[in-house]
Copies of this chain bind each other. A is one copy, B any other.
Amino acid sequence: MKEKLEELKKRLAVVNDLERAAGLLSWDQQTYMPPRGAAARAEQLATLQKLAHEHFIADEIGALLNDLADYAAQLPYDSDEASLIRVTKRDYDRAKRVPPKLVEEMARAASLAFEAWQRAKAESNFKLFQPHLEKNVELRIELANCLGYKDRIYDALLDQYEPQMTTAQVEAIFAPLKQDIVALVQAIARKSDAVNDAVLHREYDVHKQWEFGVQVAKSLGLDFERSRQDKSPHPFTISFSVNDVRITTRLNPKFLPSALFGTIHETGHALYELGYRPELERTPLAGGASLGVHESQSRLWENIVGRSRGFWQFWFPRLREMFPEQLADQTLESFYRAVNKVAPSFIRVEADEVTYGLHIMLRFELENLLVERKLPVADVPDAWNAKMQEYLGIVPPNDALGCLQDVHWSYGDLGYFSTYLLGSMFAAQLYAQAVRDVPTIPEQIARGEFADLLTWLREKVHTHGRKFTLDELARRVTGEPLNARAYVAYLKTKFGEIYGV
């Protein structure tokens, strides 16, 4: 069996190498590639992805996984070997269920839809995008039927991004959460003048912004011997090995939070990817457990740490040293409040911590209706605007600020959005546990020390790579299934104090 396991790992290493190489092609495309290089790059990426897929779904891998099933069953659930075989089998079965023709068709449709979406958004004309979204929805329904599901068709789509999470589970968590958030938003709305964030919109030299961001990233634990930051139009994190994980940021001279919190957010993703045990390298266990768990790491650092009063106790004097003019009229307190201003707004990626969840729930609900064929695509704009009115009390003046704002549906990524909110919830659940385990963490943060928190996350979450699902991790680390209690408590305490509600 040891030999079969070695053979399996050898084959998976080739797949991993191809995927990482494709990743580098994509990183380069978003950072340094000359504009005219795009056409050839698309061919190269397609070839690498096709080869990675072919090598992964090879019958030999299926046979090895079958041969190893009994062996794995005798091993501890959380051992490297049992986890490798279990997770690989899950990926393999899913990959095998999707006909190559459907994969191709989805890719082609997404590519056309992305082009159409760009135009539709620029012109704020949903009609241009509608036939493409219809096609994408149809193909995702077909995909879900290939993948299979027990209860709800949306389960099959959600499972791609958040393995083994079900629609019913998400609904059970979101329903009461929505009540709590809507109530909080309404209470804050009545005191909206309590916070002024004009300071964030002053002019900030982008080179200094960059320098400050790098200082913060390093202090959080990002090792620039194993990482680097580059510029790209859309910030992202990408991993080429446990010793080469890169982040990107974008710089806006007129809006300080863009680069600053962007860098902290991506640093959170990167610290996760830098933290799995090196023994998992070149296997399907090398990486983050799911999108939700990944988002828990980025949001824990960005919001729970990076927007905390303690964090700014240490960093505000340093930021003011770098931008003495811009921050001359600010106190720690006024700046802390500014970066935590809450206000209903149209754009999800610019939303504050409190309203953010409502943007997600809206999308999650619409996606369910779409794939259950209860909402015709043509009615999406109306349905979107009705929910915006209901949850946030505002209606977008056009679809560019409404249902056309996100790129996800153009790629056909239905099932993706909820992982953002699951991540925020899990971040709060994890942080509460971390402080129970190491009560000095908040004081350390106020001294600019993050090592104990990082060590705790490494040991509890990062080290396992993809071994466990989000819910498994929640139970192992906090003794509870994934739930919104810590998240609601966090929001109510923090914003209750800021707004006096």
- Given contact pairs A32-B228, A40-B241, A41-B241, enumerate 11 new A-B contacts (beta carbons under 8 Å): A13-B43, A14-B47, A17-B48, A20-B40, A21-B24, A24-B25, A33-B244, A34-B226, A34-B243, A36-B225, A36-B244
Within 8 A of B (CB), among A262-283: 281-282
Among A22, A244, A246, residue most surrounded by chain B Cβ atoms (within 10 Å): A244
- A244 and B41 form a contact (CB under 8 A): yes
> What 6 pairs between A and B have smallest CB-CB spacing?
A40-B241, A37-B244, A17-B47, A36-B243, A36-B226, A17-B44
Chain B contacts for A28, CB-based, 8 A: 24, 28
Chain B contacts for A47, CB-based, 8 A: 13-14, 17-18, 21
- A40 and B228 form a contact (CB under 8 A): no
- A230 and B32 form a contact (CB under 8 A): yes
| Distance to closest chain B CB from A209 (angstroms) | 20
Chain B contacts for A39, CB-based, 8 A: 241, 243
Is A426 in the interface zone, CB < 8 Å from B? Answer: no
- A43 and B226 form a contact (CB under 8 A): no
Please list 9 pairs of residues, one from A and one from B, whose beta carbons are closer than 8 Å in the complex, sorted by A's number. A13-B43, A21-B47, A32-B32, A32-B228, A34-B224, A35-B225, A36-B223, A36-B243, A37-B241
Interface 1/0 per residue, A226-243 and B, CB below 8 Å: 111010000000001111
Is A51 in the interface zone, CB < 8 Å from B? Answer: yes
| Distance to closest chain B CB from A298 (angstroms) | 20
Interface 1/0 per residue, A38-63 and B, CB below 8 Å: 01110110011001000000000000
| Distance to closest chain B CB from A428 (angstroms) | 32
Cα distance A228–B44 in the bound complex, in angstroms: 19
Cα distance A43–B282 in the bound complex, in angstroms: 9
Chain B contacts for A14, CB-based, 8 A: 47, 51
Within 8 A of B (CB), among A113-150: none
Within 8 A of B (CB), among A39-89: 39-41, 43-44, 47-48, 51
Interface residues on A, range: 35 or more
Cα distance A240–B5 in the bound complex, in angstroms: 37
Chain B contacts for A242, CB-based, 8 A: 40
In the complex where A28-B24, A39-B243 touch, is A227 in contact with B44 (Cβ < 8 A)?
no
- A240 and B21 form a contact (CB under 8 A): no
Chain B contacts for A282, CB-based, 8 A: 40, 43
| Distance to closest chain B CB from A271 (angstroms) | 14
Cα distance A33–B24 in the bound complex, in angstroms: 10
Within 8 A of B (CB), among A187-233: 223-228, 230
Chain B contacts for A18, CB-based, 8 A: 47-48, 51
Chain B contacts for A226, CB-based, 8 A: 34, 36-37
- B43 and A225 form a contact (CB under 8 A): no
Q: State which of B37, B40, B225, B240 has its C-beta within 8 Å of the C-beta of A40.
A: B240
Cα distance A454–B225 in the bound complex, in angstroms: 42
- A41 and B225 form a contact (CB under 8 A): no
Cα distance A360–B486 in the bound complex, in angstroms: 72
CB-based nearest B residue for A31: B32
Cα distance A282–B281 in the bound complex, in angstroms: 32
Cα distance A223–B34 in the bound complex, in angstroms: 10
Q: State which of B34, B41, B223, B244 has its C-beta within 8 Å of the C-beta of A228.
A: B34
Cα distance A51–B21 in the bound complex, in angstroms: 13
Chain B contacts for A244, CB-based, 8 A: 33-34, 36-37, 40-41
Cα distance A48–B22 in the bound complex, in angstroms: 11
Cα distance A21–B42 in the bound complex, in angstroms: 11
In the complex where A25-B24, A28-B24 touch, is A40 in contact with B243 (Cβ < 8 A)?
yes
| Distance to closest chain B CB from A47 (angstroms) | 4
Cα distance A33–B28 in the bound complex, in angstroms: 11
Chain B contacts for A240, CB-based, 8 A: 37, 40-41, 44
Among A44, A225, A227, residue most surrounded by chain B Cβ atoms (within 10 Å): A44
Chain B contacts for A223, CB-based, 8 A: 36
Cα distance A22–B34 in the bound complex, in angstroms: 18
Q: State which of B25, B33, B241, B243 has its C-beta within 8 Å of the C-beta of A21.
A: B25
- A21 and B44 form a contact (CB under 8 A): yes
Chain B contacts for A33, CB-based, 8 A: 244
- A20 and B44 form a contact (CB under 8 A): yes
Cα distance A20–B224 in the bound complex, in angstroms: 27
Q: State which of B21, B34, B230, B281 has its C-beta within 8 Å of the C-beta of A227.
A: B34
Cα distance A228–B29 in the bound complex, in angstroms: 13
Chain B contacts for A34, CB-based, 8 A: 224-228, 243-244, 246
Cα distance A408–B35 in the bound complex, in angstroms: 34
CB-based nearest B residue for A230: B32
